[in-house]
Structure 1
């Protein structure tokens, strides 16, 4: 085997109760929740295990929750693998990139979780109402139509999730118009703003200042940028990728191409079903290990 790579999903993968069973089985996962709560000044268990889906879905809570679960899942996987670390590189989808930076050693756990919380606060403070729309790509004609719709209604292409899905983001009226055009081939995402679009421009300077205040380190293993599709090897490169990550298009299609060419097997940290769907029909889908609340250890995953 050519080894494994770690992948962390993005916003939308959160769900009430996330991580509870993982912590029950693996004390190392529970320790991450303890560290997160100490770093943030409030108990992430209350947010992630409470009875309010609306509270968890709020961007300022969803983003750190995804990072916390990603690192808790990493610790559970490491514990169940007798400490063996055979992953060659890491990648994260949107906010998942912060968890990838922690996993690679470029950010301390506390710093990374605080940065994820700050990212959510900054992005949710963007003025104006925005929305996001996932559109299924069924042909080249449809793909061209998506690009034309973005130009017509002032929308941005927020994510290229593969050959089958593109996500548009921008003002609510424009997104609604796109939904009316694409109909059943499209669905609104459960987010509060139009992320990865020009609606994030007013908070870009504030976010850049927040990133500049965080001590990044050279990663111990390469981080694959989901923006450029290139590997990051220095602290400066990682910080720049974090800065760009709130505005620029997520190119998961580039990630998939690199992953397929690497020969490595994916280990998804957290709710990985959306990522698996993106890889459906390709060589990555058949060899995925998902470390989530159903995970019982390396032997069970195999």
Structure 2
């Protein structure tokens, strides 16, 4: 059996996430403390006690989700699981790509937390509130969704932001263009087309100021070769060179998250099980819609951790 470790993106956050891990394992508690120290913020208290409105803020949700993923991973490592030995690849959805790199030893946990704080703030600040929007186009192929986005743009920004699975594409751009895309999609056979409740238009050209901020931030951080290849969001292909990883992380801010193709790429290399390490089980649910013969397993509770250890060690 060939496996890969995957890491969730924004939207998987929930008040209380990681608390059971911290209570059960001192190793996990130390990761949350390390993230708190790196940020100079009691992020763990916000994660466990809320309020949800503050946790959902992009600048908090991104490092918080990474913290849960790496807390679970450190416990797994303590119990004998090895990324280098057990995984063929790592991959993460949007911010999850940073978690994947930390898991594979490319970035320290402290640097990853600080980068995600900067990333969250920069993405939120890139576009004035209300000027951008995102929408889910359900039931259309990626090619059809791209065509809808192109027709809706009319000189404004409207592009495919997330290719999550067959028939699940998210578009992002200026509010008026996204509203047009929703209406056009309904005439092109979409099962549903709906505006999303998000705080900014992620993964489109409007995020260029955030990409510039990340280029500057990443330039000052040490990135080392991962112990296993990363499946890059923007390439849907494996990368290991630190300089290329840095470039692709910058491109990722404005580029499409090619998750469907990323999972297909791992399957083409023989991967038959994807362990989703961190909060929620969004990626695990998507696996079933992307490729046959690949199993998704969510790992976010102490019980999940122990089951994964039994399976791999």
* Cα deviations by residue, 1:61-84 (Å, 9 ceiling, x for unpaired): 11111111111121233344x344
How far apart are the structure 2 equivalents of 1:182 and 1:223? 33
Which residue among 130, 133, 146 is the counterpart of 1:131?
Answer: 133
Which residue among 149, 157, 160 is the counterpart of 1:157?
Answer: 160
Structure 2 residue 207 is matched with structure 1 residue 204: no
How far the C-alpha of 1:256 sits from its partner, in A, is 1.5
Which residue among 252, 262, 279 is the counterpart of 1:255?
Answer: 262
Which residue among 234, 239, 243 is the counterpart of 2:241?
Answer: 234
What secondary structure sits across from 1:16 in the alignment?
coil
- Total equivalences in the alignment: 300
- Structure 1: any 5+ residue segments left out of the alignment? none
Structure 2 equivalent of residue 268 of structure 1: 276
Length-normalised TM-score, structure 2? 0.87
How far the C-alpha of 1:137 sits from its partner, in A, is 2.3
Contact 1:8 1:272 survives alignment (8 Å): no
How far apart are the structure 2 equivalents of 1:215 and 1:141? 37
How far apart are the structure 2 equivalents of 1:125 and 1:38? 24
Length-normalised TM-score, structure 1? 0.90
Contact 2:122 2:209 survives alignment (8 Å): no
User: How well do the aligned residues superpose, as a CA RMSD in angstroms?
Assistant: 2.4
Contact 1:136 1:164 survives alignment (8 Å): yes
Call closer, same or farther: CA 1:285–1:34 in 2, change over 3 Å. Answer: farther
Contact 1:44 1:65 survives alignment (8 Å): yes
How far the C-alpha of 1:30 sits from its partner, in A, is 1.4
User: Which stretch of structure 1 is more off in the superposition, 277-286 or 49-58?
Assistant: 277-286
Call closer, same or farther: CA 1:118–1:295 in 2, change over 3 Å. Answer: farther
How far the C-alpha of 1:230 sits from its partner, in A, is 1.8
User: Which stretch of structure 1 is more off in the superposition, 189-198 or 97-106?
Assistant: 189-198
How far the C-alpha of 1:96 sits from its partner, in A, is 0.5
Call closer, same or farther: CA 1:236–1:54 in 2, change over 3 Å. Answer: same
Structure 1 equivalent of residue 46 of structure 2: 47
Contact 2:135 2:195 survives alignment (8 Å): yes
